Amino acid sequence: MARELIEGAVTVLGDFVSADVVLPARHSFLPPEEMAVQVLKELSPEANAGVRSRPIIVAGEAFGYGTGRESPARALRAAGVKAIVGGPFARMFFRNAINNGLLVLDCPELARSGIADDDRIVIDVVNGAVTWGERRFDVPPVPEIIRNIIAAGSLIDYGRAIVLAQAAGRSS
């Protein structure tokens, strides 16, 4: 089932937070629960506490730029993040987040709107809109392949169905 609406409190992060800052390389091989303890700690303890207690990040320009390591995205998933809105985002981080089941939406206006920690937003995936109180922000439609990966839960879940179908095709 596709999650058509994602609703919750936000953590607002600034511009140019690199993926190396989201999770330094030395923490790449930690188990998920320990990655959640480390995620965004390089930025501040408050950022770490924020993303572990609120499901949505409002991210500034170039969030996740730099390294293509996937562990920063895995760490955000481990922390309980469901969606990241703002950007524009770096492409490898964008893909890694999607592949870990985190919805990433380009909506730079939201990041510059004065929104603050703990404010609540509603993301309408199907109609391409983000609502913050009275304000509504349009976002580009999410391509079908991305919707399908998010709906499956992650690229691993999405891939599992394909692998099953491949196996069935071979044995029939």
Residues that bind other proteins (CB under 8 A): 16, 18, 20-21, 24-26, 28-29, 42, 61-62, 65-71, 73, 88, 90-92, 95-96, 99-100, 143, 145, 154-156, 159-160, 162-164, 166
- Report, in Å, the least distance between residue 154 CB and other proteins: 7
The 8-class DSSP code of residue 26 comes to G
Residue 56 · residue 80 · CB < 8 Å = no
Return the beta strands (E) in the chain as ranges. 5-12, 56-59, 83-86, 103-106, 120-124, 129-132, 135-138
- Report, in Å, the least distance between residue 63 CB and other proteins: 10
Which residue, 91 or 136, has its beta carbon nearer to other proteins?
91
Which residue, 13 or 121, has its beta carbon nearer to other proteins?
13
- Report, in Å, the least distance between residue 26 CB and other proteins: 4
Which residue, 54 or 72, has its beta carbon nearer to other proteins?
72
What are 122's strand-pairing partners?
Answer: 7, 131
Neighbour-count burial of 133, counting CB atoms closer than 10 A to its CB (0-12 exposed, 13-18 middle, 19+ buried): exposed
Which residue, 5 or 145, has its beta carbon nearer to other proteins?
145
Which residue, 7 or 61, has its beta carbon nearer to other proteins?
61
Region of 95 please: left (phi>0), alpha (psi -120 to 50) or beta.
alpha
- Report, in Å, the least distance between residue 23 CB and other proteins: 10
Note if the bond before 88 is cis, omega within 30 degrees.
yes
- Report, in Å, the least distance between residue 28 CB and other proteins: 7
